[in-house]
Amino acid sequence: MSLKFLRLTNHPFKKWVLLVSMAALLNPLSVTQAQSTEITAKDTNSPAKLLVLGDSLSAAYGMAVEQGWVALLSQKLHPSITIVNASISGETSSGGKNRLPALLKQHQPNWLILELGANDALRGQSLRSLRKNLTTIIEQGQQAGAEVLLLGIRLPTNYGPAYDEALSQLYQDLADRYQLLFDPFFLAELALDPQWIQADGLHPNAQAQPKILQRLWPRIQMLIGKDLLAP
């Protein structure tokens, strides 16, 4: 564990980041342990698919799968859409990049929600490498015919303003370059408030999941199109 984690103050967001970073370092799931969760479409005549590629923040960590924001999303979409949640706790952009070709081949998604990078940044990994990995994921997704929604993250000031600014700009640059739908920090309303965090102090709780979806919903509507919302 990097010494920089020991310099965190008592600010609640910094405590949250410290705990999440420790969880990512100490308890990652291996790729061989991961299984994509598929919410099957009711209407098999229109096999449209939405692929979610993320880490524990999208993997319903610490709760039943059906309580996570990805599963809740299925209730708001047309029954002809299948959601494939390929998120893994502890996942990095490198891991996501390595898994993506097989996921694209197997599921042929129409849309891709990309939620990766938190574990890279919390481990102090190169932002150049993060940019390269996310670029590859976006380009491969688009080349496969999927429209992409990019979810960004932010880090506290103990990492230094230059690092946080560079991280934020990285996501914005990718969103601009590839003309993506984009949320700069989809946990902005939750990270500072312990009522939305699980007892382990690590992850948003089940009560927070509808709030995550509420924030993302306008962008998902634009991604999917209003004709494919739940009747």
Residue 161's pLDDT is what? 82
For residue 109, the SS3 value is: coil
Residue 9's pLDDT is what? 35
Residue 201's pLDDT is what? 67
**Low-confidence residues of the chain, pLDDT below 50?**
1-34, 40-44
Full set of structural domains in the chain with CATH: 3-28+39-228 (3.40.50.1110)
> Is the whole-model pTM more than 0.85?
no
Residue 79's pLDDT is what? 92
Write the pLDDT tens digit of every residue in 58-114: 999 999 999 999 999 999 999 999 999 999 999 999 999 999 999 999 999 999 999
CA nearest neighbour of 57 among 39, 69, 49: 69
Q: Which residues are catalytic?
A: 56, 200, 203
Tell me the C-alpha distance between 56 and 60, whole Å. 7
Residue 31's pLDDT is what? 35
Residue 226: is it exposed, middle or buried by C-beta count within 10 angstroms (0-12/13-18/19+)? exposed
**Vertex 4: Cα angle to 209 and 203 (nearest 5):** 10
Residue 25's pLDDT is what? 37
